[in-house]
Amino acid sequence: MGVISNSSLYKKKSAIDHVKALAFGRKAGTTEEYIAMDYIRDSLKKKYIKTELDPFLWVSIWGLYILLFVILILIMLFIIFLSFFIIAARAFGYITLFISIYFLVYYILSVSVYKVFDLTQPVQRGHISHNVTTKIEANVYRKRKPVIIFCAHYDSISINYSERIINSMVLIFILYVFIFFPLNLTMDAQFIFKLINIILLFGYLIFFISIRAKNKSIGSVDDASGTAILIELSKLFHINPLNNIDLIFLWTGAEEMGLYGSKAFCYRNFKNLDKEYDLDKSYVINVDMVGSYIGLIDQTGIFKKAKLNISLNNILEDTAREKEIPLRKEIKSISFMGDHTVFQDYAKKSKRKLQVCWFYSSEDSRFIHSSKDTPDKCKPENLNGCIDLCYHTLKRLDTDIV
């Protein structure tokens, strides 16, 4: 049974129409990303909603990832070839050192990029993207009131393999590097095992070199769906603001390149948000993927599962049950690639109890980043259901404020 919108404040076809309008490759740093940015602003401008553009500079980490993985594989291949003649177990220490340098370089690029580069200075290898934001103030003025931040990314990316395959391959590769490979060298493995190692490493070499694909994905589920939902929610609350809670809608650019949009936003705004609002009673809602169903990530972690938030998921679930909106709570092992994680990190550093939630349809991850991620994967009833769910949940939170 399809979800019927129980709100008369928006057109039921609007969300899916947005998804269809954004059905083109929106790779960060390209003209298409700018077209998508303008589409968001124009859609809101028609309803007299003012938006702000926040440009930021980013450097692609994909090339760095691939380069360092390839170098690591070549080093291991060299050690294996060398081991046919001498024992090369000590060489593993150099590999560990190399991995440490790799993570250090990644950390510097992904975290400190905003401190290093200045937008007024030309940088040959840098790219400029933009965050789009709009703020809807509460009807009642209060000091240190809560704020709810909605975020969704509007860029897309094309990859030859599904997210599940990449996560599994990387995890197996890490286990191989730290356990199987040094064990083989230490025990001076027989010829057949060394040959298996060579075949495996050559396979991984091909895998890492071929990860990237031409821009064939039009990113409907990931994340035109979230972009569309935020457009309609901002229009809803523009004409019907909350009484006690401010709302910030954030459309991030260059998310697929390393969460750069949310990092730029938090780096520039988190301290001011902490001064203006009571972040211990505030929320971040990341609408990352709404496709063939409405998925809500409830627990994360590879080995030890942890709740993503204290109470927000429970409130969303209660609202979904009350409004008869189908909602599926899920567990996701690896959760480092989402805008909400950046807010989590900043909240942790600031010792704030900011709660985050993550709308993400895990089963749809099998076709995201590929040519299969088309508008037909986004069911209109699920897009409208997510809008209704968020709308009524926020109304409930607003009422609970004392």
86 or 332, which is more confident: 332
CB contact at 8 A, 131 and 253: yes
Q: Name which of 69-73, 94-98, 108-112, 305-309 the model is least confident about.
A: 108-112
Cβ burial 50-84 (10 Å sphere, 16+ → b, else e)? ebeebebbbbbbeebbeebbeebbeebeebbeebe
Residue 114, Cβ density class (10 Å: 0-12 exposed, 13-18 middle, ≥19 buried): middle
Q: Decide if pLDDT at 6 tops 80.
A: no
Q: How many Cα atoms sit within 13 Å of 199 on the Cβ side?
A: 6
Most confident stretch, 14-23, 151-160, 360-369? 14-23
Q: How many Cα atoms sit within 13 Å of 366 on the Cβ side?
A: 4
Cβ burial 218-255 (10 Å sphere, 16+ → b, else e)? bbbbbbbbbbbbbbbbbbbbbeebbebbbbbbbbbbbb
Most confident stretch, 122-126, 213-217, 310-314? 310-314
**Average confidence (pLDDT) over 256-281:** 93
Torsion of CA 234, 238, 243, 249, to 10 degrees: 30
Q: Looking at residue 99, what is its pLDDT?
A: 63
Q: Decide if pLDDT at 234 tops 60.
A: yes
CB contact at 8 A, 207 and 169: yes
Q: Looking at residue 187, what is its pLDDT?
A: 64
Q: Looking at residue 195, what is its pLDDT?
A: 77
Q: Looking at residue 118, what is its pLDDT?
A: 42
Q: Decide if pLDDT at 49 tops 90.
A: yes
CB contact at 8 A, 15 and 388: no
Could you tell me where the beta strands, DSSP code E, fall in 161-259?
A: 246-252
**Average confidence (pLDDT) over 353-360:** 96
Q: Is residue 272 classed as helix, strand or coil in its secondary structure?
A: helix
Arithmetic mean of pLDDT over the chain: 83
Choose among 224, 240, 244: nearest CA to 47: 240
Instruction: Note the pTM of the prediction, 2 decimals.
Output: 0.81
Q: Name which of 129-133, 190-194, 306-310, 354-358 the model is least confident about.
A: 190-194
Choose among 94, 72, 114: nearest CA to 209: 72
Q: Decide if pLDDT at 65 tops 80.
A: no
Q: Looking at residue 345, what is its pLDDT?
A: 92
